[in-house]
Structure 1
Amino acid sequence: MSKILIAEDEPSIRRVLVKILSEENDTYSIEEAEDGAVAIQLIKSIEFDLVLCDIKMPKHDGLEVLEKIKELQPEVPVVMISGHGDLDTAVETMRKGAFDYISKPPDLNRLLTSVRIALDNNQLKVENKKLKRKVSKKYEMIGQSEPIQEIKQMIDKVAPTDARVLITGGNGTGKELVAHWLHEKSERVKKPFIEVNCAAIPSELIESELFGHVKGAFTSANKDRAGKFEAANGGTIFLDEIGDMSLSAQAKVLRALQENKIQRVGSDKDIKVDVRVIAATNKDLKQEIEDKKFREDLYHRLAVILIHVPGLNQRRKDIPLLIEHFAKAVASENGNAVKEFKPDAIEVLKSYDWTGNVRELRNVIERLHILGGETISKDDVELFAAK
C-alpha cells in the first residue's frame, strides 16, 4: 500500500485529487493537509511514498514544505502543483528537489503518469536499500564470545583508516567476513571491493590476474586487459590465501604497496593505483619465510594490523547463535519454515570437534534441515551429523 499526502488549501481541488487517485488505485492510503503547517506535521509523523504539494498555501508555502520534506524524508518524491505557473517557479522547485512540476488545472493523464513513475522510482529505491541490507547481512559476524567481540572492536578501530590488514586463521573460520566488514565500515565503502583467491589461480596466471596485461604479452593475450588492482582503484582488494602466491607475484605486490604503482604484464608503463590491501592466509607465514616461500619484506608491509580469527572449537559459546542464524538462512533459501533445534541437539553439536570450523557447521545445519524431522532432535544430530 502506497501512502500519499495531498497538501492543497482548496477543498474542491483536494476532493478531485483524492477521487482520481482512489479510482486509479484503491490501495492508495491518502492523507490530506489544508495548509503547509498541517503538511509538515504529517511529514513528521508518517512515512510517505509520495507527496502532491500546492505551491501557494497559508502558514507555510509549498517551497517551504518541500524543503522540510527533503530534510525529514529526503527520498520521498514530491510533485509540485501550482495555479501560478511560470518557468522560474518550476526551475526553483526542481532545484530544491521536486520530482515533477504540474500547472493548474492539472492535466489528469499527465498527473497520473507522474504519480505512477514517482511511486515506481520510489519502490525501486526501497528495494535497492533492502538489497544492500541483505548484502551486508550476508557477511554478518555472528557471535558474542570474547574472541569475536575483540575482532569486532578491532574492526571498528581499524576500518576507518587505510592501514593494511593481515587476517589469519584456519579454513572455514570466516576470514572473508572480516575483510568484508573492514571494507563496509571504511571510507571506501562506495568503491569496489575486489576479492582474489590466490590459491585458485595458477601461478603462471596470477600476475596477469592481479596486474593485467597488454596485447601480445603471451600467447593468449589477444587484447589489453586490466587487472584486479586497477579494478579495485579507490576501493579495497582482498588477497585471500596470499601464502599461496608465487614469489614473482609477491615482488610485484610489494612494489605496488611501496609505490602505489603497477605495471601490466608485457608493459613498462607505470599505472598509479589507490588501493587498500587486505590479505588473509591459513598458513604460518613466519614459517613460510623460514622456508624461503614468502618474502619477509612483503610480510611486514602487509601485517601492519594483525587479526586472528579463532576456530569454532575456541568459541563454542557462539554455536547456539550460529545454529539459529544458519537455520533461518537455510530455511529462507529453500522457502521452508525455520526448524527449531531442541536443547539436547544443540548440546551435542556444541560437543563436536569442528575441524572445518563455521563452514562445516553451516553444512551440517543444512543437512539436518533437509534430512531431520520438523524439530531437530538429538537423535537427528547423531543420525545425520555424527562426527
Structure 2
Amino acid sequence: MISKNAKILIVDDDTDVLLAVKMLLKPEVKEVVTEKNPEKLMSILAKDKFDVILLDMNYKSALNTGNEGFFWLKKIMEKDKDAVVIMITAYGDVELAVRSLKEGATDFILKPWRNDKMLATIADAYQKSQSKSKKNGSVEVKESSPVTIKDNSGTFMDLIGESEVMMDVRKKIEKVAPTDANILILGENGTGKELIARALHKFSLRADKPFVSVDLGALTDTLFESELFGHKKGAYTDAKEDRVGRFEVASGGTLFLDEIGNISMPHQAKLLTALQNRQITRLGTNRPIDVDIRLICATNMPIYEMATQNKFRKDLIYRVNTVEIMLPPLRQRGNDIVVLAEHFAKIYAQKYNKAVPQFEEATLRKLKQYSWHGNVRELQHAVERAVIMAERSVLRPDDFNFTQFEATPEPMGQAEAMRLDEMEKNTIMRVIEKHQGNITKAARELGITRTALYRRLEKHDI
C-alpha cells in the first residue's frame, strides 16, 4: 500500500492520462498534483517537494526532440539528486525506458498499464523515497503494521501474518533475499506470490535496480520470444521497430516470471538455454547479448507432478529452484484470517471515509470457517465490499456473502468433478453477465486474477 502521507506529482500532456492516474491515486495518498505543461515543472518543484514524480517520456512541446522526458529528467536530477522519478512510456519505447534508469529514474511504467501494477510500482518508489530521506537525516513517518521483516531500509509493510507457517516464510526470505539464488515460489492463486517476489527484491543487493515482472500465462505463443528476448525491426510482420526484451530490461536487477508452469515445452527449452548461458538473442539477429539477472519464478501449477508426466522439464525446475518458497493457502493460516481482515477493514474504512468497523465474534467464526479458494485476494475484496455496503459500525455475518466455486476440497469422483465444472462455468457466466462483460469487475468479484479468469473462459469455451 502507498502511504496516506505521500505527495505525488504527475507530468503528462495527455489530460486523459492525468485524470486516470489522479482518480486511481486520490484515495491512496495525501495529495496528487497534475501538470500537462512540462515547462512549468521546475517552478512547481521550486515551491513544493514531492515523494514521487511520474514523468511522461514524450510531449508535444516547443522542445520537440522526441526524447523530452530525458531533458526534464536531467533537470529534475540536477535540482535534487535524490528525487524519485517514475517514467511513463508507451509499449514500444522500452529501450528508452531502460536508458532513463541509467540516467537516474527509479522505475518506469508502460502504457497501457494495469492499475495494480501501477500502484505496486509507486508504492516501491515511495519506500525508496523514504529510505533516501532517512539517510539524509529527514524525519520519516512510520506506520504501524504487524510485520517483522526489517533491515536498514525500513520495514516491509505488506507481508502480514502471525501464523507459524508465515513466520517460516519470513525467515526464509531474510536468509535468501541478500543472495543471488534463483527462487521458485509455489502457492495457489491469491496467496501473494508477487508480494513475496517484491520482498525478495527489496531486501536484495539489487534493490536499487529494476524489478521486472512478466505474466507468462498471459503471453501467446507468438509473443513469448519477442516479449522475453526482444526483436529487431523486420524480424516478423508486425515488428515495425527494434524492441528490447524483458531480460535486457531487468539486467542488473530482478526478473520475476509469474505463471511459469503455463508455458509450452518448446518455450521451456528456449528459456532454459537463456538461463544456462546468461545470454539472450533478439529475434531477427544472431548476436548474443549478456544479461545479469536475479531470477524469481512463481506458479500455482503442480509443477513436480507435471515433470513426472513429461509436461514440464526437470532440468528447468532444477535451474529455477535453487531455493523454494511454499506459500500456504489462507485456509491453513489460522488466526491470520482475522489479522488480515482487521488490516483490510482499516485500509478501506480510511479509503471510503468511514469509521473503522469492528467484527462480531460470529463474523470472525464465519471468516475462519470459509475455505477461501481465492485466498488473501478474495478476503481483501470481501472485506472491501463489506466496508462499503455495511450500514452499521459492526460487521455481522450477513455482511459477507461469498461467491464460492467449490466446497471444502475432498476426494471426489468423476461425476462429482463434472458437476463442479458445470457449477464453476455457470457461476462465471452469471458474474460476467452481471457486470455486462467487464472482465476486470467479474474477476474481482470472483476473487481471481484477470489472467486466471481468461484461462477459465478458455477452459469452459465461454
Normalising TM by the smaller chain, what interval?
Answer: 0.5 to 0.7
- Compared CA separation, residues 150 and 251, structure 1 to 2 (3 A): same
Partner in structure 1 of residue 118 of structure 2:
none
* TM score, norm. by length of structure 2: 0.54
Match of 1:162 among 180, 185, 190: 180
Could you report, residue by residue, the CA deviation over 1:176-235 in whole angstroms, capped at 9, with x for unpaired residues?
A: 111110000001110000000110111221111111111111110011100100110100
Indicate yes or no: 2:133 matched with 1:133.
no
Please tell me the residue identity of whatever aligns with 1:148: M
Please name the residue that 1:153 is paired with. 171
Residue aligning to 2:48: 120
* Mapped pair 1:375 → 2:393: yes
Give the alignment partner of residue 242 of structure 2, picking from 224, 240, 252.
Answer: 224
Structure 2 residues without counterparts, runs of 5 or longer: 1-43, 53-79, 85-121, 130-153, 405-462
Could you report, residue by residue, the CA deviation over 1:63-113 in whole angstroms, capped at 9, with x for unpaired residues?
A: xxxxxxxxxxxxxxxxxxxxxxxxxxxxxxxxxxxxxxxxxxxxxxxxxxx
Describe the superposition over 1:44-79 as per-residue Cα deviations: whole angstroms up to 9, x where unpaired. Answer: xxxxxxxxxxxxxxxxxxxxxxxxxxxxxxxxxxxx
Counterpart CA distance in 2 for 1:123 and 1:197 is 29
Distance 1:250 1:332, change over 3 A: farther
Taking only the aligned residue pairs, the percentage that are identical comes to 44
Structure 1 residue 353 corresponds to structure 2 residue 347: no
Rounded to whole Å, the distance in 2 between the matches of 1:191 and 1:319 is 34
State the alpha-carbon separation in 2 of the partners of residues 234 and 123 from structure 1: 25
Would the aligned equivalents of 2:357 and 2:395 in 1 still touch at CA under 8 Å?
no
Q: Which residue of 1 aligns with 2:440?
A: none
**Structure 1 position 319 matched with structure 2 position 337:** yes
CA distance in 2, matches of 1:137, 1:337: 27
**CA deviations over 1:106-140 (Å, ceiling 9, x no partner):** xxxxxxxxxx9777358878996996239998971
1:268 and 2:286 equivalent?
Answer: yes
| Amino acid corresponding to residue 48 of structure 2 in structure 1 | D
2:386 and 2:395 in contact (8 A); partners too:
no
The 8 Å contact of residues 252 and 293 in structure 2, kept in 1 or not, is answered as yes
Is the contact made by 1:252 and 1:262 (CA closer than 8 Å) also made in structure 2?
no
Q: Is the 8 A contact 1:368 1:380 kept in 2?
A: no
Aligned partners of 1:329, 1:170: CA distance in 2, in Å?
24
For the 8 Å contact 2:51–2:126, the answer to whether it is kept is no
**1:88 alignment partner in structure 2:** none
What is the TM-score of this pair, normalised by structure 1? Answer: 0.64
Match of 2:196 among 159, 172, 178: 178
Deviations 1:5-27 (A, max 9, x none): xxxxxxxxxxxxxxxxxxxxxxx
> Quick check: 127-136 or 160-169, which moved more?
127-136
Q: Which has the larger radius of gyration?
A: 1
Residues 1:138 and 1:156: Cα distance change in structure 2 (over 3 Å): closer
Check if 1:144 corresponds to 2:162: yes
CA distance in 2, matches of 1:138, 1:219: 45
1:310 aligns with 2:332: no
Equivalent residue for 1:74?
A: none
Q: Which SS does the other structure have where 2:310 is aligned?
A: coil
Is 1:290 matched with 2:308? Answer: yes
In structure 1, C-alpha distance between the alignment counterparts of 2:83 and 2:315, rounded to whole Å: 46
Q: CA deviation at 1:248?
A: 2.5
Q: What amino acid sits opposite 1:310 in the alignment?
A: P
Bigger shift: residues 336-345 or 201-210: 336-345
After superposition, residues 1-387 of structure 1 pair within 5 angstroms as 120-121=48-49, 132-133=126-127, 140-381=158-399, 384-385=401-402
What residue in structure 2 maps to residue 66 of structure 1? none
1:173 to partner: Cα distance: 0.9
Distance 1:354 1:379, change over 3 A: closer
What letter is aligned with 1:257? L
Name the CA shift for 1:142/1:123 in 2 (closer, same or farther; >3 Å).
Answer: closer
Q: Give me the CA root mean square deviation.
A: 2.7
- CA distance in structure 2 between the partners assigned to 1:150 and 1:192 by the alignment: 27
Are the counterparts in 2 of residues 345 and 376 from structure 1 also a CA contact under 8 Å?
no
SS of the residue corresponding to residue 316 of structure 1 reads: coil
- Separation in structure 1 between the aligned mates of residue 325 and residue 387 of structure 2, nearest angstrom: 33
Q: In terms of mean alpha carbon deviation, does 249-258 or 239-248 score higher?
A: 249-258
Post-superposition shift, 1:333?
A: 3.3
Alpha-carbon shift at residue 341 of structure 1 (Å): 2.0
